[in-house]
Structure 1
């Protein structure tokens, strides 16, 4: 039965009376063809004819001419507009001229790369038929599913076209570029498919991965042309430029045709999921091939389960699909859908991209995807051959969904959003600087380390002049300083090269998050059911949580947040779980502020502390709570960027005098603001967080905070701050246009509220916003928030000591705290201690019995007298008395050895002494130990006069003068190391690669 008949039946069905908001037919779009072929070096007309292509579209010709001229290019056109041909033909043309050239095709998902492999291989075979004398042209997939044997084979003999994904580039290719030298030297093209997905967290990571790739290419003398393919977004050129640092031209006027498309908007009055199930059953009855998109993994599984249960004869024709499935599970579903064996797939965004799943008829969106770009991208998955197709959007009880139900014209007329990334995110920036240094040592002045002139998050207040010098250096320089201070980057002695302290830091960096993922196992087995982001694990896989996978329900029996693992057992339950949490926020730094109507809106760095306190168990059938279970989990703290809206005291007084619930009002305002934010930026509410506070001690008024829910920030709230006036108006309109009485998910309720949407007062929120926008509360009187002095004391903002301090040894890692420490050190009475023993470890039964070794000699340098004092074993009480006079005792391995030996001879509590153990300080930074002799030779050009075994022989021979001289030299070396580290903030050692580098120290 035809798709038109399905739409008409849908509109005529009495059960949906009043549910259908709008039905529009989008007319077919005719093709615009190119007048001629692009300027290929070879005649590819026979190849095109062999592919069944008689003419190219206009945008294909324009893009290929740019690529052939060597210009970096992004093609931003709708789904099924022939983008793959745009990059494949220039690659083929180059290979026909130079078969030794190589190309790297990057896809955001492994499935996309494997889906394209057959197409590329077929094209290379056809191309070689034009030049039979050429060597065989090969293509191969290089991903995590390839065996070690085949990976090694690919590295030894790379194909002309390598299809891979971001993780493999990051983890396998760039760190081991020396194994790929021939491939990188000949790299002519880098193709980045679905580049619009590289936004937010992943895009911010990829900006660094691409910079690292460009850096390695330059190292080997290659200058590949970058070709990007994107869905329709507002800023494709700007996105690609920020991703790579390269100048990228844009081709965005599509010449491809589009088939007739029916679009239906529905309120989903019986619930979006239940409405979707009814539509699925009607489509299956008519053999319409259907894809259903949902907003979460949980609802994906639930809709697939419920649809199968209610149509048991068709249950084999329905499947869920989402990230977290094992690769073989996903591929089986993709194949069944492409062949028609599967009629309906219920998917998260995992199937939004261009995996070949055949030609589908109907797309059902269970909830607005969060962006107009994603909406039309998903709609483009049906009717790909130009045939008629349909899109049905079923609104969730969500502010943005209902906004479009009330303003359907906005839905159809809304332009695509801007894709945002934040390469300056400090968490991401630091992670990739370490990876880049491990790829290839970083050198002073190279492009990757230069300040970004376009950085926007700069302080704007005079009160923060102390931070401007650091800010002007740029986020990369600030990150370098912190990495050097923490020992993750080791600086060369001549001050111009940074080496990575770890050999392989790459595996600690998750490109799709700012933290690591946690595996989910079946209880008491190592059978993996998937993985989850560590932060989300606290909310979704805490003990007692219900976890859904492949249509089956599991209950979490163990959540080890310290070691990072989750264990579950299969269990059928009639409820689902939702975490409860509490939050607090602190303003760390004000980056911008402005008066908007009757309020002040600020933007800056925030510190968010959130703690999961328990979870609700809710019945699947009704959503009714059947009990709250408390949890004892540690708080989660991270720094991010966000905005805050101050609420004047006059407005609070007015509401409270009218006996309205002020806290409920600002809480409702917070939820509405988060829900409507995707109108301004390309995001969804899961990328955002919020907190409403009736009195915030820093702003001295009530405040509503909205923040990027990712450590370091993504730039989302910065854009909302820039459009604060529109933001406030849209929030008010969302509340006023909703017909509910007391508040609902369509306006002021949030599905992820940590307090279960309590308290909420819709009318109070409306009055607050009306007072702000109208200015009826009178002129705004606000003071800037008081920032705690600790923001500087915690080394949040490194500052140089004096003008020209960059010329000092160890410059760049000083702070105000360290400056104070230097002043204090001038007045410290410190001693430097070392001992020699009478017996070896072997003689007393091991190092764990050091208390039995005895003392042949102890030498103590006293800074007060400037003398070296020596003590015998009989004089240990006098030594203890001397030690107790000191402000600080310095030594090398004092804690683990010297004090343990002395403790066998005295009841004195050595461990209560104010001790600085240089060995322990170095170990804290590096994670491994260095010998005193090694540090002394590299730092001071000095060395020990003998070794411990020789001192034992001297004891047996009674040569005390030699022992004292040897021990005194050790103390002298230790003292000089201490002084050097105190004055310069680093010591010097030779790393495993043979480079002399600094280890930062702070004492």
Structure 2
């Protein structure tokens, strides 16, 4: 019997056996067999050159698929192209052939391949090195990988003699190529093709970063005279050409519709409610006994580790043949697993989305999805990893407690008919934009008419205020505040990386980001890594280090906390049925207050342990859904819990939002408030869980009514009585899903979706938080400028922290009402305080940390109560480091200090009080003139670390 036929019968027999197996039989929701289809072919026009034909013959490729021929034709014409076809449809040939053709026509032609993972880059290099010799040309094109694993010696060779095909990843392009573009001048000037693989993954935070990295790449290419053609490869998503266009700012054509043959594929949906883990283990063992090579996808790192741990523990003869695979593993550990799976040493891998992309781990038969992956695109991308040529394969989706899982199990027809989602990127995220504009300016001076500046002109003021970018002295271009700001930019988001270190050995076993670390690696947390249990001993934010010790415990941990939010800017509002929805910029304060322990078996609650962690503040974008005033008494009449209702609605809306907008629920945050002081009524906030926002809530705002309808249907159709994880409970809830009132949520949603016929009340005048800046003088206002000198040095009193013991020799104050300076001595403190109380603003240079502390040694008066502008504090906020008054005066005004503090101390010992007063007076005048210059011009000047004189935005 043919091997393929035997495999088909085995798969069919396996599925039928599953459907008859007692614990699974009643849980089969639907079994759908997707028919395969035969290949359709096309011709390259003009025909391929003989070297390429020889190469394809050696690969066993007789004809090109129709989509391959179409894509090659477009790329040959220099058209930017995205190829969006299913997994294993031969996308790599659509760019390999044009790249090699260009090399044959011009041996100096260069290509840049960008892969999101190192493993994909290594796969591509091995493939090219295997097929290029079959071209049988005298000087074949060379290939090299340039990534973090490339030795320094090899890097130098690659830079000096760039290969025809340079394979790297987004981080290396950002950190190693663009900042040092002068060392790659010959490469960028000859760059004809840029290939970006797995472009569908460049969405959300990563996509927003990459939109800037690719614009910076285009800018460098233009500088060296290069005009490369961009080729993108994507899984099947909605409008892939739009995604590619927003990533680059270019016009991109799309090739979709695969000509590749596809064998039949089975798709089973199984209801895993209350039995998901046991069911997964049964399915894995049954598959291994039939010899099926299996890939299991889980929705979280923790579940990935647990499933692999349990499966190995119960697998008997297959012990050691099952491994976990996830982000957070060190690269060398991931590569070992990939090689073992490819060689057949491993029979099953339990993975997060880290194995969603086309890393070569050999041919697979079965894909088990533990939970709906969150998007149609991701589901079919994962399903596409299995299938051996003409052999039937299967995908088993085990729906769990999650709201999306339950929705799909109740509406399988919706799942099978849903089109793929649209990927979202948000280059206008102000936090991301500021960082990349600084990188661009460090690479090449950024002129005001640069396309990058013109495209995002509206945010330049904010970027300048935040200090990453400065105007030149003339104001004609922008310069970076740092020589190499690139290291401060994490392309994959999440903020500052935290290393996880084992206490006993001192070795690093993984990494996290600060936001995730606060939730998953706080002191006392159980951290699972590669099947082993660790207890977290210490979370050191300053050192970016988490210390853990190996210890197996019978429980897992879950964080608890609370959040607060306030609106910073209203961007838009609109009426949706019987309520109002707003789009806003807001500030979120997230505080982890403790963690709960739950038993590993059955999740029995074991108690709560309090924590004292610092709160995290960030600005982002979000929507709010107003709760009309008529709703609360309506619910009260029916003895329903108002707070429980809006809390339940918040959870349900976040849970179902991935059906409306392409995202994961972990990309979002939410908070429900029975009364929000700025909106003056109850509100539900949903926000992007990334500083600055990533465009998700903008899309949700546009589809707000659809979101409310989906949320209502989810909650109303759930068969539970009082709420469950399938509708209104959230695994992320910081208050342990209390209070929750499912019935109130249904009533509330029905009311919001029913047009009341009444006009909505005017939106109250939202009280925005004050800007963190002090007022400057306006007509009729009085300001003072203060400086003082001391009798004793810091060394004499035991350090700068004892400034209250340093004693005053004199205080000089400029009074704008008098337009003159007044001198005070130590015995005049009462008069000085009277004057300070009369001022609308007190200005100084290091006045908060020094002058006020010195003065506090004479009085109990609270100097912090005075409206104060400390110029040194403002400089530090902008730059991250301090500048001297002398430096700013010299660069801005051409003036400088007449003496220094040490000389003033010597004068005091010599009894030269008049000299001290004159010196102090000159410092006051210099401070005043700097202050007024900043108010008038909007900036002061300083010389940065690159010895460039640049503008520093003023007070």
Normalised by the length of structure 1, the TM-score is 0.87
Deviation at 1:650, TM superposition (A): 3.6
1:454-504 Cα shifts (integer Å, max 9, x gaps): xxxxxxxxxxxxxxxxxxxxxx34532123223322211222211111222
- Bigger Cα displacement from structure 2, 649-658 vs 178-187: 649-658
* 3-state SS in 1 of match to 2:538: strand
Deviation at 1:732, TM superposition (A): 2.2
CA distance in 2, matches of 1:955, 1:585: 53
CA distance in 1, matches of 2:708, 2:414: 18
What's 1:322 paired with?
Answer: 326
848 and 678 in structure 1: CA distance in 2 versus 1, 3 angstrom threshold: closer
2:184 corresponds to 1:180: yes
- The counterpart of 2:663, out of the listed 664, 668, 683, is 683
2:55 corresponds to 1:75: no
Aligned pairs for 1:160-179 (under 5 A) are: 160-179=164-183
CA distance in 2, matches of 1:176, 1:116: 25
What's 2:537 paired with?
Answer: 557
Deviation at 1:177, TM superposition (A): 1.6
CA distance in 1, matches of 2:691, 2:268: 39
CA distance in 1, matches of 2:335, 2:16: 35
1:266-292 Cα shifts (integer Å, max 9, x gaps): 112452221111000001111110000
833 and 750 in structure 1: CA distance in 2 versus 1, 3 angstrom threshold: closer
- The counterpart of 2:133, out of the listed 122, 125, 130, is 125
Aligned pairs for 1:950-969 (under 5 A) are: none
CA contact (8 A) 2:568 2:768 kept: no
2:954 corresponds to 1:1001: yes
CA distance in 1, matches of 2:915, 2:725: 83
Deviation at 1:848, TM superposition (A): 11
CA distance in 2, matches of 1:535, 1:602: 27
CA contact (8 A) 1:899 1:911 kept: no
2:273 corresponds to 1:296: no
822 and 526 in structure 1: CA distance in 2 versus 1, 3 angstrom threshold: farther
What's 2:644 paired with?
Answer: 664
What's 1:466 paired with?
Answer: none
CA contact (8 A) 1:101 1:160 kept: yes
CA distance in 1, matches of 2:750, 2:593: 35
CA distance in 1, matches of 2:356, 2:207: 17
What's 2:358 paired with?
Answer: 354
954 and 719 in structure 1: CA distance in 2 versus 1, 3 angstrom threshold: closer
What's 2:407 paired with?
Answer: 403
CA distance in 1, matches of 2:56, 2:248: 32
182 and 528 in structure 1: CA distance in 2 versus 1, 3 angstrom threshold: same
What's 1:830 paired with?
Answer: 784
2:634 corresponds to 1:654: yes
603 and 80 in structure 1: CA distance in 2 versus 1, 3 angstrom threshold: same
1:584-608 Cα shifts (integer Å, max 9, x gaps): 3333333333333333233322333
2:767 corresponds to 1:789: yes
CA distance in 2, matches of 1:734, 1:907: 67
1:919-961 Cα shifts (integer Å, max 9, x gaps): 5543443344445454333322345678899999999999999
62 and 862 in structure 1: CA distance in 2 versus 1, 3 angstrom threshold: same
- Bigger Cα displacement from structure 2, 420-429 vs 713-722: 713-722
1:204-235 Cα shifts (integer Å, max 9, x gaps): 11111111111111122211111100000011
CA distance in 1, matches of 2:826, 2:834: 12
- Bigger Cα displacement from structure 2, 543-552 vs 45-54: 45-54
What's 2:894 paired with?
Answer: 941
* 3-state SS in 1 of match to 2:41: coil
255 and 584 in structure 1: CA distance in 2 versus 1, 3 angstrom threshold: same
2:349 corresponds to 1:333: no
2:129 corresponds to 1:151: no
Deviation at 1:567, TM superposition (A): 1.3
929 and 573 in structure 1: CA distance in 2 versus 1, 3 angstrom threshold: closer
What's 2:93 paired with?
Answer: 85
What's 2:4 paired with?
Answer: none
CA contact (8 A) 2:483 2:945 kept: no
What's 2:525 paired with?
Answer: 545
CA distance in 2, matches of 1:759, 1:870: 63
What's 1:470 paired with?
Answer: none
80 and 889 in structure 1: CA distance in 2 versus 1, 3 angstrom threshold: closer
CA distance in 2, matches of 1:718, 1:890: 42
2:13 corresponds to 1:5: yes
What's 2:248 paired with?
Answer: 244
What's 2:71 paired with?
Answer: 63
- The counterpart of 2:722, out of the listed 717, 731, 742, is 742
CA distance in 2, matches of 1:690, 1:291: 33
CA distance in 2, matches of 1:650, 1:903: 57
CA contact (8 A) 2:810 2:826 kept: no
1:280-321 Cα shifts (integer Å, max 9, x gaps): 000111111000011011111111111111112211211111
CA contact (8 A) 2:940 2:952 kept: yes
743 and 441 in structure 1: CA distance in 2 versus 1, 3 angstrom threshold: same
What's 1:802 paired with?
Answer: none
CA distance in 2, matches of 1:918, 1:716: 39
2:939 corresponds to 1:989: no
- The counterpart of 2:210, out of the listed 194, 206, 214, is 206
Unpaired runs of 5+ residues, structure 1, are 452-475, 796-816
- The counterpart of 1:821, out of the listed 760, 764, 776, is 776
Deviation at 1:23, TM superposition (A): 1.0
* 3-state SS in 1 of match to 2:268: strand
Residue-pair matches, total: 942
1:904-929 Cα shifts (integer Å, max 9, x gaps): 9x968999597766555434433444
CA contact (8 A) 2:787 2:920 kept: no
What's 2:287 paired with?
Answer: 283
- The counterpart of 1:711, out of the listed 666, 671, 691, is 691
CA distance in 1, matches of 2:686, 2:299: 21
* 3-state SS in 1 of match to 2:612: coil
What's 1:443 paired with?
Answer: 447
Aligned pairs for 1:208-227 (under 5 A) are: 208-227=212-231
Deviation at 1:158, TM superposition (A): 2.1
What's 2:30 paired with?
Answer: 22
963 and 98 in structure 1: CA distance in 2 versus 1, 3 angstrom threshold: same
CA contact (8 A) 1:582 1:611 kept: yes
Unpaired runs of 5+ residues, structure 2, are 1-6
1:805-847 Cα shifts (integer Å, max 9, x gaps): xxxxxxxxxxxx77x52306x643535657699x999999999
* 3-state SS in 1 of match to 2:73: helix
RMSD of Structure 2 on Structure 1 (CA): 3.4
2:734 corresponds to 1:779: no
CA distance in 2, matches of 1:916, 1:163: 52
What's 2:113 paired with?
Answer: 105
2:562 corresponds to 1:582: yes
899 and 268 in structure 1: CA distance in 2 versus 1, 3 angstrom threshold: closer
What's 1:612 paired with?
Answer: 592
Aligned pairs for 1:629-648 (under 5 A) are: 629-648=609-628
- Bigger Cα displacement from structure 2, 975-984 vs 308-317: 975-984
CA contact (8 A) 1:698 1:785 kept: no
CA contact (8 A) 2:482 2:945 kept: no
- The counterpart of 1:570, out of the listed 550, 555, 564, is 550
* 3-state SS in 2 of match to 1:994: coil
* 3-state SS in 2 of match to 1:383: coil
CA distance in 1, matches of 2:62, 2:254: 25
- The counterpart of 1:50, out of the listed 45, 49, 58, is 58
CA distance in 2, matches of 1:376, 1:332: 26
CA contact (8 A) 1:903 1:910 kept: no
Aligned pairs for 1:915-934 (under 5 A) are: 918-919=871-872, 921-934=874-887
CA contact (8 A) 1:324 1:530 kept: yes
Normalised by the length of structure 2, the TM-score is 0.91
Deviation at 1:329, TM superposition (A): 0.9
2:443 corresponds to 1:494: no
CA distance in 2, matches of 1:204, 1:255: 32
2:744 corresponds to 1:764: yes
CA contact (8 A) 2:326 2:353 kept: yes
